Every structure is written in C-alpha cells, then in structure tokens.
Structure 1
Amino acid sequence: MINIRDSGVKRLCAVLEDPRCKLEKLWLRDCGITDEGCSALASALRSNPSHLIKLNLSENKIRDSGVKRLCAGLEDPHCKLETLWLRDCGVTDEGCSALTSALKSNSSHLRELSLSLNKIRDLGVKSLCAGLEDPHCKLEILGLMKCDVTDEGCSALDSALRSNPSHLRELDLTGNTLRQSEVKLLSDLKDDPRYKLERLLY
C-alpha cells in the first residue's frame, strides 16, 4: 500500500492534463484515494489531450460518490478510457446506476469493467444490464466476482446478453450464489454462435 491519497492524485492529474503527457496506463491500487481524488481524475479524463486508456483504482474506498464523479469524466467526448478496475471499492447499486449512464453514453470507449468484490447485488446488476442492452455500449469484459449476485441477477444478465446490441465477450461470476439452472442459460448462450460471449467464469 502506497498512501499517495487525494493530494497526490491531484498532482498526478495536473501532469495528465498537460498536452505533452502521453501516459496510457495508470495503476493506483490501494493508495488511500477517496471521492475527492476521483474528482481530479474525472477532470483529467475530460481534458482535451488525455491519452489515458487504462485506470486501476481497486482497493480504494471511493464508494458510490467517487464512482459518480468518475462517470462525469467517462461520459465526456475527450475521454478515451477503455479499461476501468474498481475491485473492492465499496461500490453498491447506486454506483452501478451511474456506470450504466456512462455505458449508454454515445461517447463511451469503455471495453473492460471490473466491479468484483463489491456488494452491488442483483439491483446493481439489473442496472448494469440496462447499459449492456443499449446500442452505444461497447463493453466486452465484465468482472462481477463475489458481488452477492443471485439467480435474479443472473437472469437479468442472460436477457441482456441475448439482446442484439450486446458486445460482451467475457463474464466473471465466480463466488456468487447461483443455481445451476440459471448458469446453464448463460452457458447455452456461450455455446451458441449467434452470440458474442466466449468466456464464462462461475
């Protein structure tokens, strides 16, 4: 753990907003960052010269308020972010709702989203599914390991992935309480060449 905290993130973001900065990957796992740091990152993601395509904020307690601030950056046309890791960040269904709005945004470039080890539960999954069903959503990889998802959330995912616009190729549901019957629906979908899903973990 390196405690750069929000003050350190703000200094980094001043560099990210510089036209000369070409940084594409930023790993800030377990750095003591909160929603205040997320505000600075959102501003950097909205900056005209932003080249950042991968951001890892896992194991920071940014919670839903931080996710909402990040989403303001994700929805901006200048944001090029393709990979966002938010593992074990205290995210709930409220944060998922904000992410859904970002996934449905016309300008979203997001291809990989990890929400593993958050208590998003079925309500959060249902919210995300509204994004997966949207034609603007380009998400290809979704991590939901140990998120307290049950059959209800699994059923919503199955419905979303069967929708025409879905691009999802990889889905991780490891460590959730799912019945074999619900998992089989997704497994059948994976084995059907009409759909995009290639890898299913449960």
Structure 2
Amino acid sequence: MNSNNLQDSGVKLLCTGLENIKCELEILVLSKCELTEESCSALASVLSSASSSLKELDLSNNNLKDSGVKMLSDGLKENCKLEKIGLSNCSITEEGYKALASALRSNPSHLIELDLTGNDPGQSGVKQLSDLLQDPNCQLKTLRFLGTAAHEACQYVTGIVSKNPLLLRELNLSERELGDTRVNQIAALLQDKHCKLNTLILCRCSITEKQCLILTSALKSNPSHLRELDLSGNQIRNTGMNHLCDVLKDSHCKLERLRWGTFTYKNQIAQIT
C-alpha cells in the first residue's frame, strides 16, 4: 500500500481488520502514505495484540515524529511478534530513539531488524543505539541509521579504535593504507549529519591526488563539522595541493587548520595564494 494517500483514517480502518483473529497478514508496507502519529496509536494496538501475526512493518517516509514512535515503542514491548520495522525519514529525533532503545531492551521484543536512516538522533541518540547493541536483552541483528558507505566506514573505524566514530571528536588513522574504497567511505562518513568529528589525522596513509579530491569534495558539504585535517607525510603533489587550496576558498568548508608536508594552514592567520 505504499505511495497511496491512505492517511490516518485509512490506517485506523485497516487496523480493525488486522486485529481480527482470522487475519494472517505478516507483511504490511505503508511507506509514503501521508501518515502521522495518529496512525501509530492504532498500529501500536495491533502490535501488542496477541492475535496479530504481523512480522514486518514499513512506515518509512511518513511524518510520525517522536510522539508517534513513542506509541509504536509501547506496542513493541508486549506480545509483539514483529521482526522487522522500517522508520526511515520519519522525522525522528533523540527522544524517539530513546523510546525505541527502551522498548528493544525489553525481553518480549523480537525485533531483529530496524531501519532508521534519514532521521537525526543527535549525539545522545547515537549513544542510545550504541549502548543498545551491547545490551544482552536486545535481539537486534541489523540496525541501519547511516548510508551504506558511511556505515562501512563506521564499522571499519570502530574495529580499529574500539569506539564508534560518531561519538568521537578526534580520529587518528595514521600509517594505514586506506586505498580508494576506504577513503570514499570516510568521505561519506564526514558528509553524514550524524558525524561530529572535529579533527581527522591521516598522516602517512599513502593518500593520492585522486583520494585528496574525494576528501575535499566531502569537506565542501554543509554537514561536515571537520575543523582540522592532517595529511602530512603523504605524496599529494601539485594537483592534490590545488584541490586543497580550492576547498579552503569554498564558503561551505568549515576547515580551520590543514597540514600537508611541512606546511600548515590556519584560517585567518595564513593566506593561500
């Protein structure tokens, strides 16, 4: 039923049928159906019903907000057989993430897959998710809240520093052969609104001119919070240096300190000519 003008009134009627003991529906897709928190109240009642056979629910691209997610979370705590739920692009912030984390720590929850891409949990929401995955009561196996490349970068960095980079302000990946794939992933991470990194150190990482262009493109993006970048010990050459100079002149770039070779640029102190 995705991409229909179903609205809250339609979902309420649908839920009446879902609560029928004879209903055996297991997958319900309600993406882009003009739904609000009112639909969540009706759906929460279905989820907590002992007679419900629903195992997959997709509510992505609806304006559910935190209030709607809190209602759904209540439905996940009791009798719920739901295994997968999609909540991407539903205007959820840290309060909604907190409610979901609380629900998924409860023993009755059977949820193994949760998609939250396109929402903005802030740092506290990210921490809620990180703590959740370490909780023995949580059954979750797949959690999505980053784009694919940023997610891969997050896993890679976590494996190196034993901490989620989304909770860090400084990241040091010096003396690692990153290659094009990893540099692309790190660039995607820098561009993601969840990432609040201020300092990135990539000394002696064999960064090439091509990879330098990838990084500079990320630094021009509005979401990037990076203030300091250290590329010393890499053979960037003239083309790479030109890319770096261009990004420093870009109004979207928030970089204040840049190092390469023996040169250090400090915003409002040194000038690039």
Give TM-score, length-normalised by structure 2.
Answer: 0.55
Structure-1 separation of matches of 2:7 and 2:66: 18
Separation (CA, whole Å) in 1 of partners of 2:187 and 2:164: 13
Q: Which residue of 2 aligns with 1:50?
A: 52
2:138 alignment partner in structure 1:
137
TM-superposed CA distance for 1:144, in Å, is 1.2
SS at match of 1:176: helix
Q: How far 1:156 sits from its partner (Å)?
A: 5.3
Task: Encode CA deviations 1:24-45: one digit per residue, 9 max, x unaligned.
Answer: 0000000011001000000011
Q: Which residue of 2 aligns with 1:154?
A: 165
Change (3 A) 1:63 1:174: farther
Q: CA RMSD in A?
A: 2.8
Contact 1:99–1:128 under 8 Å retained in 2: no
In the alignment, which residue of structure 2 is the partner of 1:83?
Answer: 84
Cα 1:38–1:14 shift into 2, 3 Å: same
| Structure 1 residue identity aligned to 2:55 | I
Compared CA separation, residues 81 and 20, structure 1 to 2 (3 A): same
Structure 1 segments of 4+ aligned residues over 6 angstroms from their partners: 148-152
Structure 2 equivalent of residue 190 of structure 1: none
Contact 1:96 1:120 in 2 (8 A): yes
Question: Do residues 106 (structure 1) and 98 (structure 2) align?
Answer: no
Counterpart of 1:71 in structure 2 is 73
SS at match of 2:132: helix
- Kept in 1, the 8 Å contact 2:35–2:62? The answer is yes
- Structure 1 residue 18 and structure 2 residue 15: aligned? no
Aligned position for 2:218: none
Instruction: Name the aligned partner's letter for residue 107 of structure 1.
Output: P
Q: Which moved more, 1:20-29 or 1:121-130?
A: 121-130
CA 1:98–1:127 in structure 2 vs 1: closer, same or farther (change >3 Å)?
Answer: same
**Amino acid in the other structure paired with 2:88:** R
Contact 1:74 1:81 in 2 (8 A): yes
- Give the fraction of aligned pairs with identical amino acids, expressed as a percent: 45
Larger relative contact order, structure 1 or 2 (CA cutoff 8 Å, min sep 6): 1
Amino acid at match of 2:30: L
Which structure has the bigger radius of gyration?
Answer: 2
Aligned length: 165
Shift of 1:130: 2.4
1:176 is displaced (CA, Å) by 3.4
Matches of 2:54 and 2:187, distance apart in 1: 29
* One-letter amino acid of the structure 2 residue matched with residue 176 of structure 1: L
AA at the equivalent of 1:55: L
**TM-score using structure 1 length:** 0.74
Give the distance between the partners of 1:95 and 1:57, measured in 2 at CA: 14
Structure 1, gaps ≥5 residues long: 158-172, 182-202
**Partner SS, residue 113 of structure 1:** strand
1:176 matched to 2:189: yes
